[in-house]
Each structure stands twice: as structure tokens, then as C-alpha cells.
């Protein structure tokens, strides 16, 4: 559609809408024609000046309409470039969705006397589409310090001592409340075991639940953290393809005596597919029938949409689910705090093994600080800000993707999260992936290649993380990636 066709369509709509207030009428008319643009994602809307001249309406009125559409997330206005429509994908089709306001990013809350830190935070090479890296610049450091001061004065030196227990009591309670509320589960604190990382949780599963050569089912593409670790433990891995609902459990029927199914159902890593409830129930029945465990890695579920998406743990009546959660994506990755939720009888063996390999629970100090931070409500407030921010950044990413990357890559149906799998188009040579990773490496940039996550039916491309980048940084990185691709393509052809 051209801008003149847009104006013609708008004029027709205006004649049909029975609304007295001109501003509302124009607003409704534009919204009515937006669906016509949904397949033309790079469409640039007429400027308010051009529209004002053509419709004979004051520019001030049009500015207000555009501002409202931007507030509601339909428009993206970029200084010096123009106004673009925002398109979001849902799992079945392209839709136009007013999800959020596109105001500037939330203000950074840097600690006092650290003005110089801000420039240090963004390292274009380090952050370059870093996969799954959270934004840490918005972390409420002042509240954290305040909390630390209070905790130290109330609890004294005991928080510096080693702890061999399952974890800090308050932290286990806070985690229980959080996931019962947001993941529709009904667990109790005595099912929660605090560990250092998801990797450690997976290692404990390998030691406590499995023996070498046991068969473990994983998704294809898979989370490499689980794949590599399980492989190193001598487990017999069986990868199974996905469909739009997640792991194709019907394809597991001929796997004899599987010991566990490892899945990332809230947001399949790296494809971004969200598993449907029916499929979750089928996996639960499959596990019950085969006397297997389900390992549910719920690594970023609390950052995803607010609609209730019940965890497998919340649907499983047979207590076959080992649930893994991590604070790495939600707060500061360097805290190294994660947790397992297991049937009560398994807490003791898991705890014993954790203490064999680590000597104790993770840092009591950070556990107590985090527990108190959560209890005061700061954690959830921060999480809500991050949900909003990442959705905003997702929209920016999609916008720049269409400007810079869509010539080379495709995005498939996925759920918005912190990273997106970008698949090479058919005409792009697959050797480009390796060549690009190498040339980026020379520049000090780590690009995450997509093919490394497949055992078969391999797809090529990249997994691009956008959550640690603000609007300008996403644009900068995207332009740089396009240049890298163009240079490498020229060398390869
Ligand atoms: C699929 C998946 N699970 C879990 C995690 C969190 O791992 P950890 O708790 O070891 O930081 C990540 C982090 O990258 C991940 O991608």
C-alpha cells in the first residue's frame, strides 16, 4: 500500500464512522485500516503534516491521534525516520496488538555516585544480541542496598555462616508463594531445594535419578546446557521434533523404558514455542505410563505474558515432575541462585548430593538478602517492570528486524520472550552461519549459531537476545549485523 492509498482508505473509513468528535473519529478510522497493513510490515505512515494537508484537519489533532496510537503500541515513531506500524506475532498468525506503551525505556536506577558506570554497562561487543542476558541497568540497586542494611542490622553475623540445609526458610517460602500464584501450582516450601544454577540442578537429577545409559528424551532443537551435561554423564539421549504445540510426544511411543523427558514448555528454548495444555497433559500421561520423570525447565516463565499458563508441575497428579527455576533471567545472573521443586521424598537425597559436591547450600548471605527483598514486594515490582520492558524491546527488535534482517532470515511462530530464533531463508548458503560466527569473533562479538541446538533436521541462523539492549542499541546492533552478513555473503558468492 502506498501512502496515497492509505489516505484514500482513511477517507472512506471516515465517511463511514458515525462519531462526532473529530479526533476520536480519525483514531477509529486509522485503527480500522491497520489490519490491511498487517502483511506490509515496513509500511511508513504518512507524516502528520502530509495527512493534515490531504484531510484538511489540523496537524495538532493528528499529532494527538498519532501519540495515542503510539501509547497503545500500534505505532512506533522514530525521530528523523517517521512513523511505522507495530506488528506482533501470535502463535498462529500475524496480528496487530496493542500490548503496551512505547514510551522511552524505564529510567535507570543507578546507585548514587556512579554516573560513570552507565557508560561502562553497555559494551557493544559483550552485549551484542547476547542470548538470554537480562537488563541489569534497571535493577533497583538503592532498594537492594537499603534491604541489605536492614537485613544486616536485624540478623547480624549469622548470615555469613555456611548452611547445609535445603535452603533459607524464608526464601523457600517466597519461592513457593511466587510459583503457586503465577504458575498455578500447589507446592509447599518443604519441596523446594536451593541450588546454584540450573546446571547444578540438572547434574543432581543425573546423579540422584539416573544411571549411565538411561534413556532421556529431549526436544529437537534442545537446550544445550542439558544436552551437553547429560551426554557427559553417559546418558542415552533421544531428541524428538516439535510441532506448534511443543514436543511431539506421540513420536516417543517406540522409545523403550525412557527414564525422563526434559522439556522447556513455557518457552521452548531456542524456538520460543509455548507448549499447549493438552500436550502437557499428554506428556504427564506418557510419563505415568512409562514410569518416567518429567524435568520441566521453567527458566523464564515469569517474564512471559501475564495470562495464566499452568506449569506441568501444576497439572501433574502423579508427582512425576522435577521443576527447575532460576533467578538468572529475572534479577542479577551473578547471584547464582536457582531452585528445584521435587516430591518431598526426593528433597533429602537431592540435598545430600548437593552437599557432597558443593559442601553446602548456595551463599546464605545472598539467599537471605533475596528472600527479604522478595518479602518486601520489591522483587515482584521489578519483575513486572521487566515484563513490560522486554515486551517493548521485543517490538523494537521486530521493527528493526524487518528493516535490516528480513532479507536474509525468517522468524517463525514464537512467543515473545528475551531472545528470538532467526532462521536463514532457503536461498542463503548455510555456510554463512559458520563464516559469520568466525568473522564476528574476530571483532570480539559472540554470535549464537542456531544449528548447534539440533541433533537432526538442522536449521541454520542465529538466536538473537535483545533483552539487555535498549531501543537505540537494538538498532545499532541490527545495522552492524546486516553489514556483517552483507560482507560475508559477498565473500562467499
Ligand atoms: C533453557 C535455559 N534453562 C535455564 C537457564 C538458566 O540457567 P542457570 O540457572 O544455570 O543460570 C538458561 C540460561 O541461559 C536457559 O537458557
Which of 323, 356, 376 marks a domain boundary? Answer: 376
Instruction: Using most ligand atoms within 8 A of CB, pick from 196, 197, 198 the residue to mutate for ligand 1.
Output: 198
Copy the grid coordinates of residue 362.
Answer: 548456595
| Atom number in ligand 1 closest to CA 327 | 9
| Atom number in ligand 1 closest to CA 297 | 3
Q: How far apart are the C-alpha atoms of 476 and 159, rounded to whole Å?
A: 44
- List per-residue pLDDT tens for the chain, 493 residues long: 888 888 988 998 898 888 888 988 898 888 878 767 755 666 789 999 999 999 999 999 999 899 877 766 677 777 777 888 765 433 223 333 333 333 344 444 544 444 444 455 556 566 789 888 898 888 888 899 999 999 999 988 888 988 889 999 999 999 999 999 889 999 999 999 999 999 999 999 999 999 999 999 999 999 999 999 999 999 999 999 999 999 999 999 999 999 999 999 999 999 999 999 999 999 999 999 999 999 999 998 888 765 568 999 999 999 999 999 999 888 888 889 999 999 999 999 999 999 999 999 999 999 999 999 999 999 988 988 888 899 999 999 999 999 999 999 999 999 888 999 999 999 999 999 999 999 998 888 889 999 999 999 999 999 999 999 988 888 888 999 999 999 999 998 8
Question: What CATH number should be reported for the domain holding residue 246?
Answer: 3.40.640.10
Distance 299 CA to ligand 1 centre (A): 6
The kind and range of the H/E element at 228 are helix 224-232
Question: What CATH number should be reported for the domain holding residue 33?
Answer: 1.10.10.10
Looking at the fold, whether 229 and 272 belong to one and the same domain comes out as yes
Residue 406 lies in a domain: yes
Instruction: Using most ligand atoms within 8 A of CB, pick from 299, 300, 418, 421 the residue to mutate for ligand 1.
Output: 299
Q: How far apart are the C-alpha atoms of 365 and 160, rounded to whole Å?
A: 6
Residue 220 lies in a domain: yes
Within 80-201, strands assigned E span 82-85, 88-89, 94-95, 192-195
Distance 189 CA to ligand 1 centre (A): 22
Q: How far apart are the C-alpha atoms of 225 and 118, rounded to whole Å?
A: 31
Name the closest-CA residue to atom 5, ligand 1: 299
Name the closest-CA residue to atom 7, ligand 1: 198
Name the closest-CA residue to atom 3, ligand 1: 299
Residue 22 lies in a domain: yes
Judge if the beta carbon of residue 326 lies within 6 A of ligand 1: yes
| Atom number in ligand 1 closest to CA 200 | 10
Q: How far apart are the C-alpha atoms of 18 and 481, rounded to whole Å?
A: 48
Residue 145 lies in a domain: no
Distance 302 CA to ligand 1 centre (A): 13
Q: What was the pLDDT predicted at 71? A: 66
Judge if the beta carbon of residue 467 lies within 6 A of ligand 1: no
Looking at the fold, whether 179 and 214 belong to one and the same domain comes out as yes
Q: Is the peptide bond before 221 cis (omega within 30 degrees of 0)?
A: yes
Looking at the fold, whether 214 and 355 belong to one and the same domain comes out as yes
Q: What was the pLDDT predicted at 309? A: 81
Into how many domains does the chain fold? 3
Q: What was the pLDDT predicted at 229? A: 96
Judge if the beta carbon of residue 197 lies within 6 A of ligand 1: yes
Q: How far apart are the C-alpha atoms of 300 and 166, rounded to whole Å?
A: 23
Q: For residue 58, give Cα distances in angstroms to 48, 54, 61, 63.
A: 9, 10, 5, 9
Name the closest-CA residue to atom 14, ligand 1: 132
Looking at the fold, whether 180 and 73 belong to one and the same domain comes out as no
Looking at the fold, whether 196 and 265 belong to one and the same domain comes out as yes
Judge if the beta carbon of residue 198 lies within 6 A of ligand 1: yes
Residue 66 lies in a domain: yes
Distance 188 CA to ligand 1 centre (A): 24
Full domain range(s) for residue 191: 161-376
Q: How far apart are the C-alpha atoms of 452 and 460, rounded to whole Å?
A: 9
Residue 152 lies in a domain: no
Q: Within 10 Å of residue 320's Cβ, how many Cβ atoms?
A: 22
Looking at the fold, whether 355 and 446 belong to one and the same domain comes out as no
Distance 224 CA to ligand 1 centre (A): 10
3-state secondary structure 37-100: HCCCCCCEECCHHHHHHHHCCCHHHHHHHHHHHHHCCCEEEECCCEEEECCEECCCCEECCCCC
The full length of the chain comes to 493
Predicted TM-score (pTM) of this structure: 0.77
Distance 351 CA to ligand 1 centre (A): 20
Looking at the fold, whether 416 and 325 belong to one and the same domain comes out as no
Judge if the beta carbon of residue 297 lies within 6 A of ligand 1: yes
Looking at the fold, whether 81 and 207 belong to one and the same domain comes out as no
Q: What was the pLDDT predicted at 17? A: 85
Distance 269 CA to ligand 1 centre (A): 10
Residue 104 lies in a domain: no
Distance 324 CA to ligand 1 centre (A): 9
Q: What was the pLDDT predicted at 70? A: 76
Distance 72 CA to ligand 1 centre (A): 33
Judge if the beta carbon of residue 419 lies within 6 A of ligand 1: no
Q: What was the pLDDT predicted at 24? A: 85
Looking at the fold, whether 194 and 308 belong to one and the same domain comes out as yes
Looking at the fold, whether 296 and 185 belong to one and the same domain comes out as yes
Looking at the fold, whether 36 and 77 belong to one and the same domain comes out as yes
Judge if the beta carbon of residue 330 lies within 6 A of ligand 1: no
Question: What CATH number should be reported for the domain holding residue 404?
Answer: 3.90.1150.10
Residue 331 lies in a domain: yes
Distance 33 CA to ligand 1 centre (A): 42
Judge if the beta carbon of residue 200 lies within 6 A of ligand 1: no
Looking at the fold, whether 389 and 361 belong to one and the same domain comes out as no
Which of 324, 348, 376 marks a domain boundary? Answer: 376
| Atom number in ligand 1 closest to CA 269 | 1
Helix, strand or coil, per DSSP, at residue 29: helix
Amino acid at each position: 500500500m502506498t501512502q496515497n492509498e492509505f489516505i484514500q482508505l482513511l477517507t472512506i473509513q471516515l465517511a463511514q464512522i458515525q462519531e462526532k468528535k473529530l479526533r476520536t473519529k480519525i483514531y477509529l478510522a486509522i485503527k480500522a485500516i491497520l489490519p490491511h497493513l498487517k502483511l506490509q510490515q515496513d509500511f511508513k505512515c504518512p507524516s502528520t503534516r502530509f495527512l493534515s494537508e490531504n484531510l484538511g484537519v489540523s496537524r495538532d489533532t493528528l499529532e494527538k491521534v498519532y501519540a495515542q496510537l503510539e501509547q497503545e503500541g500500534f505505532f512506533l515513531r522514530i525521530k528523523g525516520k517517521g512513523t511505522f506500524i507495530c506488528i506482533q506475532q501470535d502463535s498462529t498468525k500475524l496480528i496487530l496488538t496493542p500490548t503496551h506503551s512505547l514510551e522511552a525505556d524505564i529510567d535507570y536506577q543507578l546507585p548514587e555516585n556512579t554516573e560513570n558506570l552507565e557508560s561502562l554497562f553497555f559494551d557493544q561487543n559483550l552485549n551484542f544480541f547476547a542470548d538470554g542476558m537480562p537488563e541489569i541497568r534497571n535493577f533497583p540497586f538503592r532498594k537492594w542496598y537499603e534491604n541489605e542494611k536492614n537485613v544486616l542490622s536485624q540478623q547480624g553475623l549469622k548470615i555469613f555462616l555456611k548452611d547445609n540445609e535445603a535452603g533459607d526458610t524464608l526464601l523457600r517460602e517466597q519461592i513457593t508463594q511466587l510459583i503457586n500464584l503465577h504458575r498455578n501450582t500447589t507446592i509447599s516450601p518443604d519441596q523446594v531445594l536451593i541450588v546454584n544454577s540450573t546446571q547444578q540442578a540438572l547434574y543432581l537429577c543425573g546423579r540422584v535419578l539416573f544411571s549411565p545409559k538411561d534413556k532421556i528424551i529431549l526436544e529437537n532443537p534442545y537446550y544445550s546446557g542439558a544436552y551437553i551435561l547429560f551426554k557427559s554423564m553417559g546418558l542415552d539421549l533421544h531428541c524428538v521434533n516439535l510441532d506448534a504445540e511443543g514436543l511431539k510426544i506421540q513420536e516417543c511411543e517406540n522409545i523403550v523404558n525412557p527414564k525422563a523427558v526434559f522439556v522447556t514448555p513455557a518457552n521452548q528454548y531456542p524456538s520460543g514455542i509455548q507448549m499447549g495444555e493438552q500436550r502437557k497433559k499428554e506428556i504427564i500421561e506418557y510419563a505415568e505410563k512409562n514410569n518416567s520423570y518429567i524435568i520441566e525447565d521453567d527458566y523464564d516463565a515469569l517474564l512471559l505474558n501475564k495470562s495464566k499458563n499452568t506449569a506441568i508441575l501444576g497439572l501433574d497428579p502423579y508427582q512425576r515432575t522435577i521443576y527447575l527455576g532460576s533467578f538468572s533471567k529475572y534479577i542479577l545472573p551473578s547471584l547464582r541462585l536457582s531452585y528445584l521443586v521435587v516430591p518431598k521424598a526426593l528433597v533429602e537425597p537431592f540435598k545430600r548430593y548437593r552437599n557432597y559436591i558443593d559442601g553446602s547450600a548456595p551463599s546464605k548471605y545472598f539467599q537471605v538478602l533475596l528472600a527479604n527483598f522478595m518479602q518486601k514486594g520489591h522483587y515482584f515490582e521489578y519483575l513486572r517492570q521487566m515484563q513490560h520492558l522486554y515486551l517493548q524491546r521485543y517490538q523494537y527488535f521486530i521493527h528493526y528486524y524487518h528493516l535490516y534482517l528480513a532479507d536474509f532470515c525468517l522468524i517463525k511462530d514464537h512467543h515473545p520472550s528475551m531472545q528470538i530464533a532467526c532462521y536463514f531463508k532457503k536461498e542463503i548458503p548455510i555456510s554463512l552461519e559458520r563464516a559469520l560466527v568466525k568473522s564476528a569473533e574476530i571483532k570480539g562479538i559472540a554470535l549464537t549459531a542456531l544449528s548447534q541446538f539440533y541433533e537432526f533436521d538442522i536449521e541454520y541462523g542465529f538466536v538473537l537476545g535483545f533483552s539487555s539492549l535498549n531501543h537505540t542499541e537494538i538498532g545499532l546492533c541490527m545495522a552492524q549485523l546486516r553489514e556483517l552478513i552483507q560482507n560475508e555473503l559477498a565473500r562467499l558468492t
